[in-house]
Structure 1
Amino acid sequence: MTVIKQEEKKEKQVYKRDLNVTKVLRMKELPDVVGAKPSTIYTWIREGHFPAPKKMQRISIWDKDVVENWVAEKLAS
């Protein structure tokens, strides 16, 4: 019985490790990451200067890696 439980535990650990979970940001978190007000961020989105959000039902979300790469590019230029 103990051996089976240990195997199940190992399988769960491997499963958790193999998941490719994308971290997301909501608008309330973006100003701290980007350093701009929400109204400015929405203007940048409209003008095509900032990555557009993905919609998850009625919620707008941004891929954290995409936003961080955008910030890094802006700092480098």
Structure 2
Amino acid sequence: MTETKRPASNIDRLLRYREVEEVTGFRRSTIYFWMSKGLFPKPLKIGRAIAWRERDIQQWMDERAEVAQ
């Protein structure tokens, strides 16, 4: 059995709404509210869909954790 190794990639994983809700624990209405106030990372538009870079969401959560301490 031959194993194919993938090259290291700097490509960010994109998260859709459901995944962002699961990762952050916040509902869609809260995310929209914070986006309107500039308090949440801006999503990328992909056709009619939107998604967030995983690193942007992780950075946002890390910043919130620092403020809470």
Indicate the TM-score class for this superposition, using the shorter chain for normalisation: 0.7 to 0.9
**Larger relative CO (CA 8 A, sep 6+): 1 or 2?**
2
Residue number in structure 2 paired with 1:7: none
Deviates more, 1:49-58 or 1:18-27: 18-27
- Residues 6-42 of structure 1: CA distance to partner in whole angstroms, max 9, x if unpaired? xxxxxx74xx414432111000111111111110001
Residue number in structure 2 paired with 1:73: 63
Taking only the aligned residue pairs, the percentage that are identical comes to: 31
Name the SS of the counterpart of 2:50 in structure 1.
Answer: strand
Q: Can you give the 5+ residue segments of structure 1 that lack an aligned partner in the other structure?
A: 1-11
Distance 1:19 1:72 in 2: 23
Compute the TM-score of the two structures, normalised by the length of structure 2: 0.82
Residue number in structure 2 paired with 1:32: 22
Q: For 1:1-77, what aligned pairs fall within 5 Å after superposition? A: 13=5, 16-77=6-67
Whichever of the two has the greater Rg, that structure is: 1
Q: Can you give the 5+ residue segments of structure 2 that lack an aligned partner in the other structure?
A: none
* Equivalenced residues, count: 64
